[in-house]
Structure 1
Amino acid sequence: MMDWTDRHCRAFHRTFSRHARLYTEMVTAPAILHGDRARLLGFGAAEHPVAVQLGGSDPAQLAQAARICADFGYDEINLNVGCPSDRVQGGNFGACLMREPQLVAELVAAMKAVVTVPVTVKCRIGVDEQDPEVALDLLADAVVAAGADALVVHARKAWLNGLSPRENRDVPPLDYDRVRRLKARLPHVPVVLNGGLSSIAEGQAAAQGLDGMMLGRAAYHEPELLAQVDPRLHGVPAPHADTFAALDAFEPYIAHHLEAGGRLADITRHMLGLFGGRKGARIFRRRLSTEAIAPGAGLEVLRAAVDEVRRRDRLAA
């Protein structure tokens, strides 16, 4: 979710669920140590519960980065050893670390030694020629022994040689049963299912016997599905009656960003998946895509785009 789940995306998604755990885009340990920490790690109090996802392969660097993230107030430190992009392979982190379970264990132990918040690991079931039955157990056993508090398993292999990052999201077959076998073998370890889940209902069915589900691209491209999290999984109402009410409640956040010199498109780029299948959705997307990027674009642009859908809803009623 690099370049997607920034602080504006997370603040927007929080309007649909008070209880879903939100994750940052992956941030590398060197970037945190040497970059603009406020820009990379800053978040609003309303985002809780929120986890920071880290990338790296140096125990000392990751320990320092984890301490900084904990001081920022994150609720969880998540180590990503599942991302297959060329960018992370070049830096020797992400999915290529599936081949080095003992190193991943050292990374976890280094972070656990300096923070009190949970440290979790997101992984694949294997990479390239690895046998998932062996590779996933080796990694899981190593990081659990090092103190990992939970595992988030993307239930497909990553092919680092021969497939693009996009193809790695679809081509290797999903194997949810492999994740269930891991849970059966480690019943005391929280195991969360990730990969290919397109709805809350599908996630509930696929994650039976596991400890949760993680939705990434589905939630990004169809953010309204997050409104089902609180009533279906936590037995409480969603924060707002409908999407229109959620957008109305989100306006002060947008106004504050604009007053601080930000661009409307910084936020509305995360809204293009709203109103899927409804009359006016195409015009809504087109207006935001073309008008929100204009210099000086303000809330009136978003309101006009929303009104395209609202007006058609009234006509259909």
Structure 2
Amino acid sequence: MSATEQQEKQGNSLELRKKSRYEASLRLSVAPMMDWTDRHCRYFHRLLSPHARLYTEMVTSAALVRGGQLRLLEHSQQEHPVVLQLGGSEPQELAAAARHGANAGYDEINLNVGCPSDRVQSGRFGACLMREPALVGDCVKAMRDAVDVPVTVKCRIGVDDQDGYADLQHFTETMLEAGVGVLVVHARKAWLKGLSPKENREVPPLDYARVYRLKREFPALTVVINGGIATVEAVQAHLAEVDGVMLGRAAYHDPYLLAQLEHALYGAPLPTRESVLRRLQPYVEAELARGTALKHITRHLLGLYQGEPGARGFRRRLSEGAHRPGAGWALIEQALAPARVAA
């Protein structure tokens, strides 16, 4: 076998492994969360769960295409499988943004049709697009034509006066016609006027049954459920009805939940919290060497000992010390001390 043939074989093998990881990640994912799921957060979450599908914060197509802010696509190879979530409503601009994402190596491009914030609405994207399924379909088609990686959609079960199942059914039919194979559904309606984004995560009632019905009526569609899911038992119960579960703030505030889910869903050994931090040390030191301030990393670690003895001391030492000039790995060692004593 020639050197070229060996390289091709190795390349094909790598692509197959990457595809296998991507497919396995379907069952568990961590939601895109603005100001939270940055590259440092994703690297940390990957240590806790080798299988989970991770999402970026939402990046607007305008920022990439008109603003040229390609730095927003930065990520580590260790994060894969990782999804770029885009926000926008102009098909050709989204297609160009999707190309940037695919060229940067993202495994999937996801279109945000679920965010209810005023800022997003003013840009005519996010949850308000649920009123315009044909436009969303055009956006998806343009993106699919532009890239070879999967293009998916994250939506709500409805917005404002869309109180029945029929609107969600029509939206889903339009997505299928556009070629969407995976639909992530936040099982709450969004109120676009009168509720803040935080209230939109809490006030509209959850309607898991509507998402289950969607899966039953569109069995060929891969349906991932999102919203208010916070325990291993809840994830397992949802997986009996749909194809995948997406966790949001529960995974951020109690990140060890990801390790527990990795153990429950994929049979992986359950690591100790301290061992996870030990594996993070080379990343922290490499980032410090390139000029990253420790506080940008440690803010994602604060919930690691959530509910455990010593958790308050762990959080306090990191919160009080990470912003100080020269703060480094030694601070994390100090933060571990209360947890070790409590254990």
TM-score norm. by structure 1 comes to: 0.96
Whether the 8 Å CA contact 2:85–2:112 is kept in 1: the answer is yes
The partner residue of 2:321 within 276, 282, 291 is: 291
Deviation at 1:296, TM superposition (A): 1.5
Partners of 2:234 and 2:192 lie apart in 1 by: 28
Q: Which residue of 2 aligns with 1:168?
A: 200
Deviation at 1:106, TM superposition (A): 0.4
Query: Which residues of 2 match residues 228-267 of structure 1 at below 5 A?
Result: 228-238=260-270, 241-267=271-297
For 2:121, give the aligned amino acid: Q
Whether the 8 Å CA contact 1:76–1:117 is kept in 2: the answer is yes
Structure 1 residues 261 and 56: alpha-carbon distance in aligned structure 2, compared to 1, 3 A threshold: same
The one-character-per-residue Cα deviations of 1:101-121 (angstroms, maximum 9, x if unpaired) are 000000100001111111110
Partners of 1:236 and 1:312 lie apart in 2 by: 26
Structure 1 residue 196 corresponds to structure 2 residue 228 = yes
Q: Which residue of 2 aligns with 1:10?
A: 42
Task: Specify every segment of 5 or more residues in structure 1 that has no aligned partner in the other structure, as ranges.
Answer: none
The partner residue of 2:137 within 101, 105, 111 is: 105
Whether the 8 Å CA contact 1:124–1:156 is kept in 2: the answer is yes
Whether the 8 Å CA contact 1:19–1:229 is kept in 2: the answer is no
Whether the 8 Å CA contact 2:156–2:185 is kept in 1: the answer is yes
Partners of 1:212 and 1:146 lie apart in 2 by: 21
Deviation at 1:224, TM superposition (A): 0.3
Q: Could you say what secondary structure the match of 1:18 adopts? A: coil
Structure 1 residue 43 corresponds to structure 2 residue 75 = yes
Partners of 1:130 and 1:120 lie apart in 2 by: 22
Query: What is the CA RMSD across the aligned residues, in angstroms?
Result: 1.1
Q: Could you say what secondary structure the match of 2:280 adopts? A: helix
Structure 1 residue 300 corresponds to structure 2 residue 307 = no
The one-character-per-residue Cα deviations of 1:278-313 (angstroms, maximum 9, x if unpaired) are 221111111111110112211111110012111221
Task: Specify every segment of 5 or more residues in structure 2 that has no aligned partner in the other structure, as ranges.
Answer: 1-32
The partner residue of 1:58 within 71, 87, 90 is: 90
Deviation at 1:39, TM superposition (A): 2.5
Deviation at 1:38, TM superposition (A): 4.3
Partners of 2:115 and 2:321 lie apart in 1 by: 34
Q: Which residue of 1 aligns with 2:160?
A: 128
Partners of 2:138 and 2:261 lie apart in 1 by: 35
Whether the 8 Å CA contact 1:125–1:132 is kept in 2: the answer is no
For 1:305, give the aligned amino acid: A
Partners of 1:270 and 1:131 lie apart in 2 by: 37
Instruction: Indicate the percent of aligned positions where both proteins have the same amino acid.
Output: 58
Deviation at 1:235, TM superposition (A): 2.7
Q: Could you say what secondary structure the match of 1:135 adopts? A: helix
Runs of 4+ in 1 over 4 A off after TM superposition: none
Q: Could you say what secondary structure the match of 1:123 adopts? A: strand
Whether the 8 Å CA contact 1:220–1:270 is kept in 2: the answer is yes
Structure 1 residue 73 corresponds to structure 2 residue 101 = no
For 1:300, give the aligned amino acid: A
Q: Which residue of 2 aligns with 1:277?
A: 307
Whether the 8 Å CA contact 1:67–1:115 is kept in 2: the answer is yes
For 1:275, give the aligned amino acid: Y
Deviation at 1:37, TM superposition (A): 4.0
Partners of 1:132 and 1:237 lie apart in 2 by: 44
For 2:290, give the aligned amino acid: A
Q: Which residue of 1 aligns with 2:171?
A: 139
Structure 1 residue 218 corresponds to structure 2 residue 253 = no
Q: Could you say what secondary structure the match of 2:340 adopts? A: helix
The partner residue of 2:117 within 85, 89, 92 is: 85
The one-character-per-residue Cα deviations of 1:230-275 (angstroms, maximum 9, x if unpaired) are 222123335xx21100100100000011011110000000111111
For 2:122, give the aligned amino acid: G
Deviation at 1:34, TM superposition (A): 3.4
Partners of 1:13 and 1:68 lie apart in 2 by: 24
Per mean C-alpha deviation after superposition, the further-off stretch among 57-66 and 227-236 is 227-236
The one-character-per-residue Cα deviations of 1:73-98 (angstroms, maximum 9, x if unpaired) are 11111111001111111111000001
Per mean C-alpha deviation after superposition, the further-off stretch among 197-206 and 219-228 is 197-206
Whether the 8 Å CA contact 1:56–1:62 is kept in 2: the answer is yes
For 2:59, give the aligned amino acid: V
TM-score norm. by structure 2 comes to: 0.88
